Amino acid sequence: MCKNMFKSGCLVRTVHVILTWLTTLVLFLHNTDLRKCQERGDLFQPVLFSSVVLLSVLLYFTVSLMDPGFVLSDSDTKATSVYSNEELEKMIPQDHSSLKQRRCGYCFLMQPMRAKHCKMCKRCVRRFDHHCPWIDNCVGERNHKWFLLYLCVQFVALSWGLQASWSGVVFAPTWQQWFTQNGLLLGAFALTAVFSVVVLLLLCIHIYLASVNTTTWEFMSRHRIVYLKHCDSEENPFDRGVICNLWDFCCVCGTVAWERIYIRHTNGNV
């Protein structure tokens, strides 16, 4: 039962919610800046902080539970592709004739370009980035922008919590009394500090990936990816410039036919 519970992601999500609200409770129960504002009757900061925390939890569940861009069927793949398989094969230069849609060796569906099978989800995901164990879901074409937004809000909440927890630390005449009075706050400080560093690193990485229109999978495994093996180490066939990349990443909704962009780039270099 516990194994099924963890596999379904319930345990991970429950731990996330418990840690989030326990840390928030500790900040309001001790003499932190948030508690001092509340006692003075100035509710702006406490309400704003609670709203940011709540928003981070809502975004967490949004990213965790939404469809990351699963490939549903062969007909779904063909319906969202600009060209048929035969047209694609004819348009790709002969030097790269092996770059064609192939069937997944696990689920046997036709994989569009930039899709990859996730062994954890047991599904093929469009524009696959990575499988995140903390959200127990893949990050792909449909939820990557929401994942980045979640990281932004989460970092704001963690940074604020880090400052608030440190503001509540009080001095005591002995080390034993100091640890007794500040034990929970120190725990909250350590927890928010660790997660702040992790989230900041992830945030910087994914902003960079979005700015150059690549994914974690493509960045780490380009030497094994068929449509990238022939490219130079600095070349990215999907890169349209930082501004266009970020605009497409943040504002374009729906499925993208990456074959079309790839063919344009390849033909332009031939």
Tell me, yes or no, if 121 is annotated catalytic: no
Q: What is the total count of domains within the chain?
A: 1
- Which amino acid type is present at position 103? R
Domain annotation covers residue 42: yes
| pLDDT attached to residue 145 | 96
Domain annotation covers residue 194: yes
Which range of residues forms the domain containing residue 213? 2-69+130-268
Which helix (H) or strand (E) segment is 123 a member of? strand 123-125
Domain annotation covers residue 162: yes
What lies within 8 Å, CB to CB, of 181 at 6+ separation is: 170, 172
19-32 pLDDT, tens digit per residue, is: 999 999 999 999 99
| pLDDT attached to residue 72 | 86
How far apart are the C-alpha atoms of 26 and 182, rounded to whole Å? Answer: 11
Q: What angle do CA 220, 65, 137 make, to 5 degrees?
A: 25
Please provide residue 117's backbone torsions phi and psi, each rounded to the nearest 5 degrees. Answer: -80, 130
Domain annotation covers residue 104: no
Task: Name which residue leads in pLDDT, 261 or 71.
Answer: 71
143-154 pLDDT, tens digit per residue, is: 999 999 999 999
Q: At which residue do the structure tokens 């959200």 appear?
A: 135
Count each helix (H run) and each strand (E run) in the chain, helices first. Answer: 12, 6
Domain annotation covers residue 76: no
Domain annotation covers residue 118: no
Domain annotation covers residue 96: no
Q: Which of 132, 204, 231, 250 is catalytic?
A: 132
Question: Span 133-144, mean pLDDT?
Answer: 95
Domain annotation covers residue 54: yes
| pLDDT attached to residue 268 | 55
